[in-house]
Amino acid sequence: MSSPLGKLVIAAGLLVVIVLALRFLWERRNRR
């Protein structure tokens, strides 16, 4: 997957995972 489309898919996937992880941690932190 060295094509531009492959890199775009990988970048989008990583971004989604990071955003979901941050939201999960943020909700757990605020809930107490």
Q: Spell out the per-residue pLDDT of the chain, length 32, in tens.
A: 579 999 999 999 999 999 999 999 999 998 87
What's the pLDDT at 19?
Answer: 98
Alpha-helical regions (H) of 1-32:
4-31
What's the pLDDT at 1?
Answer: 56
What's the pLDDT at 2?
Answer: 73
CA-closest candidate to residue 6, choices 14, 20, 16? 14
What's the pLDDT at 21?
Answer: 98
Residue span of the structural domain in which 3 resides: 1-32
For the chain, the domain total comes to 1
